[in-house]
Amino acid sequence: MKSFSAKTGEIERRHILFDANDVVLGRLAVKIADALRGKDKPTYTPHIETGAYVIVINAAKVKLTGKKEERKIYDHYSGYRSGLKKVTAGEVRKRTPEKLIQDAVWGMLPSGRMGRSLYRNMKVYAGAEHPHQAQNPELVTI
Protein backbone atom coordinates (compact mmCIF):
# COMPACT_ATOMS: atom_id res chain seq x y z
CA MET A 1 0.00 0.00 0.00
CA LYS A 2 1.17 3.51 -0.76
CA SER A 3 0.76 6.44 1.58
CA PHE A 4 -1.14 9.40 0.20
CA SER A 5 0.48 12.82 0.35
CA ALA A 6 -1.40 15.85 -0.93
CA LYS A 7 0.34 18.18 -3.38
CA THR A 8 -0.13 21.93 -3.32
CA GLY A 9 -1.76 22.13 -6.76
CA GLU A 10 -4.21 19.27 -6.17
CA ILE A 11 -6.03 20.78 -3.20
CA GLU A 12 -9.60 22.03 -3.54
CA ARG A 13 -10.37 24.59 -0.85
CA ARG A 14 -13.98 25.22 0.09
CA HIS A 15 -15.72 27.84 2.24
CA ILE A 16 -17.41 26.74 5.46
CA LEU A 17 -19.87 28.78 7.52
CA PHE A 18 -20.18 28.20 11.27
CA ASP A 19 -23.04 29.70 13.26
CA ALA A 20 -21.91 30.33 16.85
CA ASN A 21 -25.41 30.99 18.18
CA ASP A 22 -25.75 29.09 21.52
CA VAL A 23 -22.75 26.84 20.84
CA VAL A 24 -20.16 26.20 23.58
CA LEU A 25 -16.95 28.10 22.82
CA GLY A 26 -14.50 25.23 23.20
CA ARG A 27 -16.50 22.79 21.10
CA LEU A 28 -16.87 25.38 18.36
CA ALA A 29 -13.16 26.23 18.42
CA VAL A 30 -12.17 22.57 18.01
CA LYS A 31 -14.38 22.21 14.92
CA ILE A 32 -13.02 25.45 13.44
CA ALA A 33 -9.39 24.49 14.06
CA ASP A 34 -9.94 21.06 12.48
CA ALA A 35 -11.58 22.63 9.43
CA LEU A 36 -8.74 25.16 9.05
CA ARG A 37 -6.08 22.45 9.17
CA GLY A 38 -8.03 20.03 7.00
CA LYS A 39 -8.24 17.30 9.63
CA ASP A 40 -11.88 16.73 8.74
CA LYS A 41 -10.85 15.47 5.26
CA PRO A 42 -9.35 12.12 4.29
CA THR A 43 -6.68 14.00 2.29
CA TYR A 44 -5.14 15.61 5.40
CA THR A 45 -1.41 16.16 5.11
CA PRO A 46 0.35 17.77 8.11
CA HIS A 47 2.82 19.95 6.20
CA ILE A 48 0.40 21.30 3.56
CA GLU A 49 -2.63 23.55 3.96
CA THR A 50 -5.44 21.20 3.00
CA GLY A 51 -8.09 22.99 5.08
CA ALA A 52 -10.98 25.25 4.21
CA TYR A 53 -11.71 28.94 4.49
CA VAL A 54 -13.85 29.44 7.60
CA ILE A 55 -16.50 32.10 8.22
CA VAL A 56 -17.99 32.41 11.72
CA ILE A 57 -21.16 34.42 12.36
CA ASN A 58 -23.00 35.35 15.58
CA ALA A 59 -19.79 35.43 17.62
CA ALA A 60 -21.50 37.64 20.20
CA LYS A 61 -23.93 34.81 21.03
CA VAL A 62 -21.37 32.08 21.76
CA LYS A 63 -22.00 30.25 25.02
CA LEU A 64 -19.58 30.10 27.95
CA THR A 65 -20.32 27.36 30.47
CA GLY A 66 -20.26 27.70 34.25
CA LYS A 67 -19.13 31.04 35.65
CA LYS A 68 -16.56 31.73 32.94
CA GLU A 69 -18.29 34.98 32.00
CA GLU A 70 -17.05 36.56 35.27
CA ARG A 71 -14.08 34.34 36.21
CA LYS A 72 -12.23 33.69 32.94
CA ILE A 73 -9.40 36.21 32.61
CA TYR A 74 -7.76 37.36 29.38
CA ASP A 75 -4.45 39.10 30.00
CA HIS A 76 -1.82 40.71 27.84
CA TYR A 77 1.35 42.62 28.47
CA SER A 78 1.86 46.08 27.00
CA GLY A 79 5.66 45.92 27.12
CA TYR A 80 6.05 48.56 29.81
CA ARG A 81 6.74 48.01 33.48
CA SER A 82 3.60 47.04 35.36
CA GLY A 83 1.83 46.88 32.00
CA LEU A 84 -0.08 43.66 32.61
CA LYS A 85 -3.69 44.23 31.55
CA LYS A 86 -6.43 41.85 32.68
CA VAL A 87 -10.02 41.72 31.46
CA THR A 88 -12.80 39.20 32.08
CA ALA A 89 -14.57 37.28 29.33
CA GLY A 90 -17.70 39.36 29.89
CA GLU A 91 -15.80 42.58 29.23
CA VAL A 92 -14.23 41.09 26.10
CA ARG A 93 -17.69 40.05 24.89
CA LYS A 94 -18.98 43.62 25.33
CA ARG A 95 -16.00 45.28 23.66
CA THR A 96 -15.01 42.86 20.85
CA PRO A 97 -16.99 39.59 20.85
CA GLU A 98 -14.93 38.23 17.93
CA LYS A 99 -11.87 37.99 20.19
CA LEU A 100 -13.41 35.16 22.23
CA ILE A 101 -13.47 32.83 19.23
CA GLN A 102 -10.24 34.15 17.70
CA ASP A 103 -8.25 33.55 20.89
CA ALA A 104 -9.71 30.07 21.40
CA VAL A 105 -8.88 28.99 17.83
CA TRP A 106 -5.43 30.64 17.91
CA GLY A 107 -4.47 28.45 20.86
CA MET A 108 -5.49 25.29 18.97
CA LEU A 109 -3.45 25.98 15.83
CA PRO A 110 0.20 24.99 15.48
CA SER A 111 2.74 27.65 16.38
CA GLY A 112 4.95 28.98 13.63
CA ARG A 113 4.54 29.95 10.00
CA MET A 114 1.91 27.32 9.26
CA GLY A 115 -0.34 28.34 12.17
CA ARG A 116 -0.19 32.02 11.24
CA SER A 117 -1.08 31.18 7.65
CA LEU A 118 -4.01 29.00 8.73
CA TYR A 119 -5.27 31.69 11.13
CA ARG A 120 -5.58 34.16 8.24
CA ASN A 121 -8.09 31.82 6.56
CA MET A 122 -10.68 32.51 9.29
CA LYS A 123 -13.09 35.46 9.38
CA VAL A 124 -15.23 36.09 12.48
CA TYR A 125 -18.24 38.40 12.63
CA ALA A 126 -20.22 39.45 15.72
CA GLY A 127 -23.59 39.51 13.95
CA ALA A 128 -25.40 37.36 11.42
CA GLU A 129 -24.27 39.38 8.38
CA HIS A 130 -21.09 38.63 6.45
CA PRO A 131 -19.70 39.84 3.08
CA HIS A 132 -18.85 36.36 1.74
CA GLN A 133 -22.16 35.41 0.10
CA ALA A 134 -20.51 35.10 -3.33
CA GLN A 135 -18.38 32.16 -2.16
CA ASN A 136 -21.51 30.08 -1.38
CA PRO A 137 -20.26 28.75 1.96
CA GLU A 138 -21.71 25.50 3.22
CA LEU A 139 -23.30 25.73 6.66
CA VAL A 140 -21.92 23.35 9.28
CA THR A 141 -24.07 22.63 12.31
CA ILE A 142 -22.59 21.63 15.63
Residue 1 has pLDDT above 80, yes or no: no
> What confidence tens digit (pLDDT) does each residue in 54-101 have?
999 999 999 999 999 999 999 999 999 999 999 999 999 999 999 999
Domains and CATH numbers, the chain: 14-64+97-131 (3.90.1180.10)
Q: What percent of the chain has pLDDT over 70?
A: 100
The C-alpha atoms of residue 30 and residue 55 are separated, in whole angstroms, by: 14
**pLDDT average, residue stretch 20-42:** 96
Q: What is the pLDDT of residue 34?
A: 97
Count of helix runs (H) and strand runs (E) in the chain: 5, 6
Task: Tell whether the torsion through CA atoms of 59, 60, 63 and 67 is positive or negative.
Answer: positive
